[in-house]
Every structure is written in structure tokens, then in C-alpha cells.
């Protein structure tokens, strides 16, 4: 089911999410379907979107959904950084369409998580995927990209992105 994406300013977006429990295994299937449907609907509407976090659809759980070359489900992810190398980029978010923000992100990240079958997995991420998962992971801790702005002049209207 396509769910409403919570928008910037909604207090639910600033809450720290709880872990998905073993008792919620059946609910995870429903949440993942909703995340998938919502992401595909967003792509159809806006022509963009690679991932969505459960709190963005009002589910305060540590659950991420990414669809790049195939679907990925990240249950109770833990993100770490193998080094301190960072870079700046202009980031956008489904929770504030039309607004972009210049942020600093780690170039590389490692993520440990449970997949949709609750099997432990790990992945090394670089560049775009590292940035993407850092962005989504932040949602689980109630952090929006606007809170990661490199300075107070880093908010950009989407139609102006090409100038930066």
C-alpha cells in the first residue's frame, strides 16, 4: 500500500526509532511492501528516489528499504565508517521535495543488518551508496539532512541545483 511520506516539520520524523523485534517478523513483510509501493509511487511521480526509511511512512522502526539494481531490506542496521574521508554533496529527501541541502558525508561505510528473512548480512559501501545509506540511516535516529547542513547557507531550492 502506498503510504503518505511524512514531510519536514512533522514531529514523528525527529524521533529515534526502536529496533524491529522477532515478534514483528510478520509485520515486517507488510512494512516492506508499503515501503516498496511508496518508493515506486514516488519514483513515478518525481522521477527519482532510491531508498526510503520506515519513519518516513510513519513506522518508528529501524527498517530501511533500498531499490537500486534490486530490492534491499535493512532490518536493525548498524552503520560504521572504516576511515575518516568525507566529501560534500547536495542532498535531497522525499520528506522535503524541492529543497536540497549541502552536506558532508563519509565516502565509505560498512553496514551490518538483518535481511528480510532475518538473516545477518554485511555490506561495504562507497560513494553514492555510502551517502544514500548514511542519509537513510540518519532517519532512524531522527536526523534529517537539513540538520547536517555544512553551514547556514546550504539550503538550495531544487530548481537551482544546476547552479551549484
Residue numbers annotated as active site: 136
Please tell me what DSSP assigns to residue 61. Answer: B
Q: How far apart are CA 101 and CA 129, in angstroms?
A: 18
Residues facing residue 120 across a β-bridge: 114
Q: How far apart are CA 93 and CA 51, in angstroms?
A: 10
Q: How far apart are CA 85 and CA 105, in angstroms?
A: 8
Q: How far apart are the first and last CA of the chain?
A: 36
Amino acid at each position: 500500500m502506498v503510504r503518505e511520506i511524512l514531510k519536514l516539520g512533522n514531529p514523528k520524523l525527529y524521533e529515534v526509532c526502536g529496533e524491529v523485534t522477532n515478534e514483528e517478523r510478520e509485520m515486517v513483510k507488510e512494512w516492506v511492501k508499503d515501503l516498496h509501493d511508496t518508493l515506486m509511487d514516488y519514483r513515478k511521480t518525481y522521477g527519482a528516489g532510491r531508498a526510503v526509511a520506515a519513519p518516513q511512512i510513519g513506522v518508528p522502526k529501524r527498517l530501511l528499504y533500498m531499490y537500486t539494481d534490486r530490492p534491499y531490506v535493512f532490518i536493525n542496521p548498524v552503520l560504521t565508517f572504516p576511515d575518516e574521508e568525507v566529501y560534500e554533496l547536495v542532498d535531497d529527501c522525499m520528506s522535503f521535495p524541492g529543497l536540497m541541502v549541502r552536506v558532508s558525508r563519509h565516502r565509505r561505510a560498512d553496514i551490518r543488518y538483518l535481511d528480510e528473512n532475518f538473516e545477518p548480512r554485511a555490506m561495504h559501501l562507497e560513494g553514492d551508496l555510502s551517502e544514500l545509506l548514511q542519509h537513510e540511516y540518519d532517519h532512524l535516529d531522527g536526523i534529517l539532512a537539513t540538520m547536517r547542513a555544512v553551514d547556514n547557507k546550504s539550503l538550495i531550492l531544487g530548481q537551482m541545483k544546476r547552479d551549484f
